[in-house]
Amino acid sequence: MNDLLLSFTDVSVSFKARFRFGAREKLVLKDVNFSVERGQSIGVLGGNGAGKSTLLALAAGILGPNSGTVKNHNAEVALLSLNLGFDAILSGRINATMSGLLHGLKKAEVARVLEEIKEYSGLGESFEQPLYTYSAGMRARLGFAISQFVSPDVLLIDEVLGVGDQEFRDKSSQSLRERIRREDQAVVLVSHNAITLVDLCNRFLFVNEQTVREVSAEELKALQDLASVRRKESAEAVQEG
């Protein structure tokens, strides 16, 4: 089994600031170098707009870099997404099947775990009802239940640690904790919260001003303030804008 799953080499990403011909490019990430190996759980901290989600999109193969390479060493990579492919008019069962297939499960695998998804979600008979009859919490529970059965080599998680009501929140964050600690896969977890990351992960990346650098747990906690200050600034900028 190969232990090297993903490697980023001198990766830079920029986006056009506006949808127009000849618009200026805005640099989001610059010269990013790191790799993901089996058994690692990597916590990524950064403020709003720092490029954390861009990093996950690169890792998932959804987005290509402007320069540099993101090499996937034959690893299955999945970005956890709670409402992937959902159609409100269709039943929970049909949506669970669709979402499972899109997350990379085989048809037979989906068929095998459908009852377990129903059970885990705690939706009961609502599982057979259309999604538009669900509350937001019920939808999140369904989405989370599906994600429980998605088991790629690299799991990418964008701040979905706990969903639903308090009871389901405890259950779901407990499940995620167990998965993140598994040795046979790798996890990249993005968050605003350094404490959570230090609690769950064994490697840490800090994204700030277009750069990504590896830091220790202690450094990460110290950087939390910087990340939240930036978050506040960007929130104010939004209000002013």
Partner 1 sequence: MNRSNYPALLGFRTYTDLVSEASRTYLSFFWWLAEPAFQLAIYYLVFGLLLGIRTENFLAFLLTGIIAWQLFNRLIMNASASITRGVGIYSKVPINKLFFPTVALLSDLIKHLVVLLVLLGFLLLTGYSLGVALVSLPLVVLTEVILAAAIGYWAALLVPFVPDLSIVIATILMGLMFASGIFYDVSNLSPEIQSVFYLNPMAVLIREHRSVLLSNQFPEWQALGIIALVSAVLIFAAARFERRFSQHYIRLVVS
Nearer to partner 1, 105 or 186 (CB): 105
Separation between Cα atoms, residue 136 and residue 143, nearest integer Å = 11
- For the CA atoms of 62, 66, 71, 72, what is the dihedral angle to 10 degrees? 0
Find tokens 């690299």 and name the residue. 154
DSSP structure string for 163-208? -SSHHHHHHHHHHHHHHHT-SSSEEEEEES-HHHHHHH-SEEEEEE
User: Which among 42, 52, 53 is positioned nearest to 5, based on CA atoms?
Assistant: 42
Nearer to partner 1, 64 or 137 (CB): 64
The CB-of-167 to partner 1 minimum distance in angstroms stands at 27
Nearer to partner 1, 21 or 178 (CB): 21
The CB-of-95 to partner 1 minimum distance in angstroms stands at 9
The CB-of-171 to partner 1 minimum distance in angstroms stands at 24
DSSP H or E segment with residue 156: strand 154-158
Nearer to partner 1, 21 or 183 (CB): 21
Q: Where along the sequence are the contacts to partner 1 (CB under 8 A)?
A: 15-19, 23, 57, 60-64, 76, 78-79, 81, 83-85, 87, 89-90, 94, 97-98, 101-104, 106-107, 130
Nearer to partner 1, 102 or 217 (CB): 102
The CB-of-228 to partner 1 minimum distance in angstroms stands at 24
User: Which among 4, 8, 2 is positioned nearest to 214, based on CA atoms?
Assistant: 8
Nearer to partner 1, 83 or 208 (CB): 83
The CB-of-227 to partner 1 minimum distance in angstroms stands at 21
- For the CA atoms of 6, 12, 18, 21, what is the dihedral angle to 10 degrees? -110
The CB-of-234 to partner 1 minimum distance in angstroms stands at 16
Strand 4-16 and strand 67-72: the pairing is: antiparallel
Tokens coding 185: 């896969």
